Amino acid sequence: MKPLDYNTGKVPQWCPGCGNFGIWNSIKKAMAETELEPHKTALVSGIGCSGKMAAHVRCYVFHSLHGRTLPVATGIKLASPETTVLVNGGDGDGYGMGVGHLIHAMRRNIDVTYIVHHNKVYGLTTGQAAPTSPEGTKTKSTPFGVVDSQINPLIMGMANGATYVARGYTTDSDHLSDLIVGGIKHKGFALIDVLQPCVTFGGQYQYDYYNDRIKKMDEIPSTEDAIKLASDTDTYNIGVFSQYDRPAYNELHPEITTEIKAKDVTKLIKSFV
């Protein structure tokens, strides 16, 4: 299949210039590169502008509640281990509303690929502060500036057990696609943080801001260097920060790695009636 084969025919309603278009293209490129079959692939989306992705990628989709993408994705992967599960959501959805689910999914090493749209704001609700908003940022919900400490998703991922941690940039579609391919092929939890400018409510964090600060990494750094690079506030390093192997959650539970047949489920339900 080619990237365009994963289109659903529905026209996206994102703002002109929105970074979501680049992420959409990268997801389809990665699906084509890994030869994913739509009937063997599931995409779980959260609430927000990013959540609209569920309408535009040809495969099984689930548009979940705010912050609840990972419980749904976990259920799909455990019930159907052979299914490739992609998760798509915003930084407010994943690092705010759903951060508790995120931490536990990472430490369990659930075999899913989580693509987070990082624009430092709640875009769909017109510009409130997000967990990724830097201190001092003035928004509708913080007119005097953000006073909360800013979440660093890369360090959070490395510290809590994600076995694949990467960051991409929406304008470099081929590079981002490669990162997603790496996440799909990786057996375990893959966190891909994507710098995605919100052209309408993103304030100063637009393409010009990022273009002057992006630096592509040539190789996976050591753990010590990865922390330093992820902590750099003057440069946005993109690439794979950490990758290593440990058993995925479903591999540690052989009782759930076999295919669950409908007749077995029916028998189980009847035993409780």
Burial class (CB in 10 A: 0-12, 13-18, 19+), 68: middle
- At residue 39, what are phi and psi to the nearest 5 degrees? -80, -5
Which pLDDT does position 55 carry in this prediction?
Answer: 96
Q: What is the pLDDT of residues 130-167, one digit of tens each?
A: 999 999 999 999 999 999 999 999 999 999 999 999 99
Which pLDDT does position 269 carry in this prediction?
Answer: 82
Give the HSE-up count for residue 69: Cα atoms under 13 Å, Cβ half-sphere: 36
Give the model's confidence band at 79: pLDDT under 50 very low, under 70 low, under 90 confident, else very high: confident
Which pLDDT does position 253 carry in this prediction?
Answer: 83
Which pLDDT does position 255 carry in this prediction?
Answer: 72
Percent of the chain with pLDDT over 70: 97
Q: What is the pLDDT of residues 216-272, one digit of tens each?
A: 999 999 999 999 999 998 999 999 999 999 999 988 887 765 555 556 777 878 888
Q: What is the pLDDT of residues 105-126, one digit of tens each?
A: 999 999 999 999 999 999 999 9
Cβ-contact 145, 138 below 8 angstroms = yes
Which pLDDT does position 258 carry in this prediction?
Answer: 58
Please state the rounded mean pLDDT for residues 184-197. Answer: 98
Beta strand pairing call for 84-90 and 113-118? parallel
DSSP H/E element including 249: none
Cβ-contact 212, 186 below 8 angstroms = no
Burial class (CB in 10 A: 0-12, 13-18, 19+), 271: exposed
Percent of the chain with pLDDT over 90: 89
Per CATH, domain 3-271 is 3.30.830.10: no
Q: How far apart are CA 224 and CA 228, in angstroms?
A: 7
Q: What is the pLDDT of residues 27-62, one digit of tens each?
A: 999 999 999 999 999 999 999 999 999 999 999 999
pLDDT at residue 209 tops 80? yes
Which pLDDT does position 267 carry in this prediction?
Answer: 80
Strand-pairing partners, residue 129, are 121
Which pLDDT does position 171 carry in this prediction?
Answer: 96
Which pLDDT does position 263 carry in this prediction?
Answer: 61
Which pLDDT does position 70 carry in this prediction?
Answer: 98
Q: How far apart are CA 22 and CA 30, in angstroms?
A: 12
Q: What is the pLDDT of residues 55-73, one digit of tens each?
A: 999 999 999 999 999 999 9
CA distances (Å), origin 30, targets 1, 142, 174:
11, 38, 9
Q: How far is CA 115 from the centre of its chain?
A: 2
Which pLDDT does position 259 carry in this prediction?
Answer: 58
